Structure 1
């Protein structure tokens, strides 16, 4: 079936999922930092976070990836020439994950910002008045409550980012799409392999939706119980 290329493509799925998960970690970290900067930061921090989200969300993902991969490699090697390094070849996996994380960090900044603003300000003020430090407030009060509001937006961004992983094939990463390209070129059956890729993406996104729904129910369990009483 599939001319014997199915194991190769499924092996490429591991690369695709690795890129997606690594990108989610980067995006979540940037999004949380950006959201905190927008809500609680100084004027300079708010301005930087606003510029970041505005510029990144206005540019096509493909353009940003090409600029980071090729432009970043040029800048890195020019810097390397000055400090005496040899030629540096940017790893496609690192370039792909950092670029996707950078892009979707801008979207998650707005997701997390809205979630933070959904937490009653009185609870934050009460926590500080009880002597809790900023880190404790974030860990025990703000983050647990904001996650309940952030999960729907986080789900949508994860699904879009999962599909956007197909872009990493253009920078030479041997992912599922790249392997499907090789298989379709060898067999001259592009529809067969691209349809297979579509079914795999559909399966992964469906499983992701189910998992995020379970997570959302977990975070909303106490709220529902409170509402019922």
Structure 2
């Protein structure tokens, strides 16, 4: 047993530094993807709720595609197909060669998937806010931007938080998919360690514990956000 735990040591004799580096990539990928996906999902929800036929149709088509495709297939399309399309575009316009990294491809793919599901969560939250809230804000003389910021968004966060929390936990697990495009995340470095040491059960168990720890820490953070969002209710 001591020999197994020695494999987690740092330095040339262990794999602790590689796993820690992979954990850093996994967390960075999730943290970069989250705000992009939230903003895109919010904009898609606004488009769906706008009543403008062209916006509603465009947003619905986009979300239907990325909700329907497997995440792994989306990642392949962005990393290979998107890269080819971008290279052709830059060759035509600027006569230059461009290539984006596996990390960038992972962020783009996961953001599109996250945004597609988040848009439905935001849309349900929008529809859970009574029209009287908008009318009351208008009666007080608030402009649309101020109404959204001061009246709608605080309620939107409270209503959408349970669904967004689940999407965040799914996102944490979906980051493992980027290992197939040679990004050295936690799962890829774990696979390398397994291939070298021939200790699959040990290293996969360690990876499971790390992902579980991330989920538990996220649950504490989500609980804090939920208490903040409901602070007005507690006061009443």
Give the TM-score normalised by the residue count of structure 2. 0.92
The number of aligned residues is 226
Q: Is the CA contact (8 Å cut-off) linking 1:2 and 1:193 kept in structure 2?
A: no
Consecutive unaligned residues in structure 2, runs of 5 or more = 8-13
Q: Is the CA contact (8 Å cut-off) linking 1:2 and 1:192 kept in structure 2?
A: no
Q: Is the CA contact (8 Å cut-off) linking 1:31 and 1:109 kept in structure 2?
A: yes
Point out the more displaced range, 157-166 or 36-45. Answer: 36-45
Residue aligning to 2:11 = none
Deviations 1:100-143 (A, max 9, x none): 01111000001111111112210111212332211111110110
Residue aligning to 1:98 = 108
Mapped to 2, the partners of 1:16 and 1:60 lie a distance apart of 20
RMSD across aligned positions (CA) = 1.3
TM-superposed CA distance for 1:2, in Å, is 4.9
Consecutive unaligned residues in structure 1, runs of 5 or more = none
Residue aligning to 1:198 = 208
Give the TM-score normalised by the residue count of structure 1. 0.94
Mapped to 2, the partners of 1:188 and 1:81 lie a distance apart of 45
Deviations 1:165-198 (A, max 9, x none): 0011111211111111111111111221111111
Point out the more displaced range, 150-159 or 89-98. Answer: 89-98
- Secondary structure in structure 1 of the residue aligned to 2:230: helix
Q: Does 1:40 align with 2:54?
A: no
TM-superposed CA distance for 1:84, in Å, is 3.9
Mapped to 2, the partners of 1:58 and 1:91 lie a distance apart of 25
Q: Does 1:20 align with 2:38?
A: no
- Secondary structure in structure 1 of the residue aligned to 2:162: helix
Residue aligning to 2:60 = 50
Question: 4+ residue stretches of structure 1 with deviation over 6 A?
Answer: none
Residue aligning to 1:180 = 190
